[in-house]
Amino acid sequence: MRHLKEFRGMEGSVGQKVDVSVLDGLKVLTITAVSKGKGFQGPVKRWHFAGWFKSHGSKGLRRCGAIGCRLTPGRVFKNHKMAGHMGCHVTTVTGIRVIAVDVEKNLLVVKGSIPGGDNALLKIRA
């Protein structure tokens, strides 16, 4: 057993294995996982900024520009979009359609993208 997680409100006994047969008959799912980590990223990739001019002697191509005024207020406001760590957040995707459930192979086939990388732990809810 690699991972152990308790879910309240489930029917069954202690030590019972849960497979994809409990999801048989469902049409739409909600999937939660930790998104892929991207490390420290600049404002262009992290917040989709346009960047500066590409010609006429411009040198700051991937900068974010001004971050505040000088004297008043004399500080940078909270939640200003700047460079920093990107990814590794708990992400929930709703409305994922179920294509097929294979109980023999313990396989669940869904349509669309889901958060997380390879071998990521998923929390699947109806």
50/5 Cα distance (integer angstroms): 43
Both 8 and 18 in one domain: the answer is yes
- Residue 94: which CATH number? 2.40.30.10
Domain span including residue 22: 1-37+87-126
Q: Are 31 and 54 part of one and the same domain?
A: no
Strands 107-111 and 39-41: unpaired
Number of domains the chain is built from: 2
| Same domain for 104 and 45 | no
pTM of the model: 0.80
Measured CA to CA, the distance from residue 31 to residue 49 in angstroms comes to: 29
Q: What is the pLDDT of residues 49-100, one digit of tens each?
A: 998 888 888 887 898 888 999 899 999 999 999 999 999 999 999 999 999 9
Which regions of 35-89 does DSSP assign to beta strands (E)?
Answer: 39-41, 84-86
Within this chain, do residues 24 and 9 fall inside the same structural domain, yes or no? yes
Does 105 share its domain with 45? no
Q: Is the pLDDT of residue 9 over 80?
A: no
Tokens of 11: 């029917």
